[in-house]
């Protein structure tokens, strides 16, 4: 530990550049996929009928449990099937995936298709389950 402090003191310019780059990367990655919404925030919007959930998981995972009223459009076909969401242009679109890792790509694609009000579910369906919120099967 003493050697770490010695290194930092002797190479403060190098260490400060490293910290600056690390912060820049973290900021860029957090903003890259658009705005996030918590599971509780999503419930609030859904209950007010101000949002629709787009589940980008594959059909098998979607069948195992989904958010009530969600629309299943797998990530690999989001570009070709984005027009199915045209009736929801006046609502917020919440993109949900399994763990919250791939929803950023879907948000980017939907924004490129002209949808402005797109959010991603923070933590995906896993966070939804962890919050003890219901999933519908069938």
51 and 93 inside one domain: yes
Phi, psi of 120 (to 5 degrees): -120, 140
pLDDT band of residue 95 (cuts 50, 70, 90) is very high
Same domain, 12 and 73: no
Q: What average pLDDT does the segment 114-138 reach?
A: 90
Q: Are residues 38 and 21 in the same domain?
A: no
Instruction: Determine the Cα–Cα distance for residues 61 and 128; give it in Å rounded to an integer.
Output: 14
For the chain, give the mean pLDDT: 90
For 99, list phi and psi in degrees, rounded to 5. -125, 0
Largest alpha-carbon pair distance within the chain? 63
pLDDT band at 9 (very low <50, low <70, confident <90, very high): very high
Using 50, 70 and 90 to split pLDDT, how confident is the model at 89?
Answer: confident
Assess whether pLDDT exceeds 90 at residue 34: no
Whether residue 53 is found in the same domain as residue 108: yes
**136 within a domain of the structure (yes/no):** no
Q: Do 28 and 43 fall within a single domain? A: no
Banded model confidence at residue 88, pLDDT cuts 50, 70, 90: confident
Residues spanned by the domain of 15: 1-33
CATH number, domain of 56, equals: 3.40.250.10
- On whether the CB atoms of residues 97 and 56 are closer than 8 A, the answer is yes
């Amino acid at each position: 530990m003493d050697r770490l402090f010695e290194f930092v003191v002797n190479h403060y310019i190098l260490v400060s550049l490293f910290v600056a780059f690390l912060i820049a990367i973290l900021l860029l990655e957090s903003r890259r996929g658009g705005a996030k919404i918590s599971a509780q925030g999503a419930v609030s919007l859904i209950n007010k009928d101000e949002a629709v959930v787009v589940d980008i998981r594959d059909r098998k995972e979607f069948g195992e449990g989904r958010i009530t009223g969600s629309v299943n459009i797998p990530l690999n076909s989001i570009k070709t099937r984005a027009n199915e969401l045209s009736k929801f242009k006046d609502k917020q679109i919440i993109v949900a995936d399994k763990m919250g890792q791939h929803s950023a790509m879907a948000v980017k694609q939907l924004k490129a298709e002209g949808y402005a009000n797109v959010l991603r579910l923070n933590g995906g369906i896993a966070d939804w389950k962890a919050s003890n919120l219901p999933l519908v099967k069938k």
